[in-house]
Amino acid sequence: MRSIILVALLSFAVSAVAQSPEPVSPPPAKLDATGFALVHPLFDADYMCSEHFEGQLKYPGDDFGADCIVTGGLSGDESSGFSKFYRTDGKTNEDWYGWNVPVLAPITGTVARIHINPSINKPGEMGKPPASFVVFKHDDGLMVLVAHVAEVAVKEGDKVTAGQPFAKVGNNGFSRSPHIHIGAWRDKTPLQIRFDLRAKGLLRKKD
């Protein structure tokens, strides 16, 4: 099964990270759900995303955001097996297919902000926000946040290219399993993300 990927977007003014259980700033009076942003796939691997519908999480970056989990379990030619998240029982982070998988930059731009949460959660147990995250800024004002990362290899002010590895999949903050949250926004208005399937095709050709 090929990756199922749909994502959304977030607000740089927000001080707490994606999936915070408590409100951290007043939400906009009205969210515009008509805007979209095209972003590079998060991983050079199969993955699935669960999206946050409007109103589920009320702040830009959370609203319309998505949680993406790397999948495995298929044979090399994908003729047998079935997609799953972990190899055995999922009780350790290392058992999850996504643990420590490289995370790819969603857009070309500048690293605008980084926050590191050094904690590592145990699968099945929710940690405390904010998560480790990196915010990217495109020249046109598009902002994209990627959260629950580990081993961040960039610093604020760095220039990055879409598809460039910049971190690894972690399990920190308001999270109960190894995964990545992605959200984006422009002018504090959340956007709905679509992954660039042409870029996904190029990744497939390299494999």
User: pLDDT of 81-122, one tens digit each?
Assistant: 999 999 999 999 999 999 999 999 999 999 999 999 999 999
In this structure, the chain runs to a length of: 207
How large is the average pLDDT for residues 62-66?
80
Is 1 contained in some domain? no
Domain at 131, CATH number: 2.70.70.10
Contact 52, 62 (CB under 8 A): yes
**What percent of the chain shows pLDDT beyond 90?**
66
Q: How far is CA 79 from CA 1, 73, 76, 83, 90, in A?
A: 10, 11, 8, 12, 24
How large is the average pLDDT for residues 40-52?
94
- In this model, does residue 180 exceed pLDDT 90? yes
pLDDT of residue 84: 96
Domain around 168: 6-206
Is 35 contained in some domain? yes
Confidence of residue 63 (pLDDT cuts 50, 70, 90): confident
Q: How far is CA 49 from CA 61, 90, 145, 192, in A?
A: 15, 18, 15, 13
CB atoms within 10 A of CB 34: 8
| Cis bond upstream, residue 165 (ω within 30) | no
User: How do residues 48-61 score in pLDDT, each as one tens digit?
Assistant: 999 877 777 767 66
Contacts of 53 (CB under 8 A, 6+ apart): 64
How large is the average pLDDT for residues 14-39?
54
**Domain count of the chain?**
1
Is 45 contained in some domain? yes
pLDDT of residue 34: 59
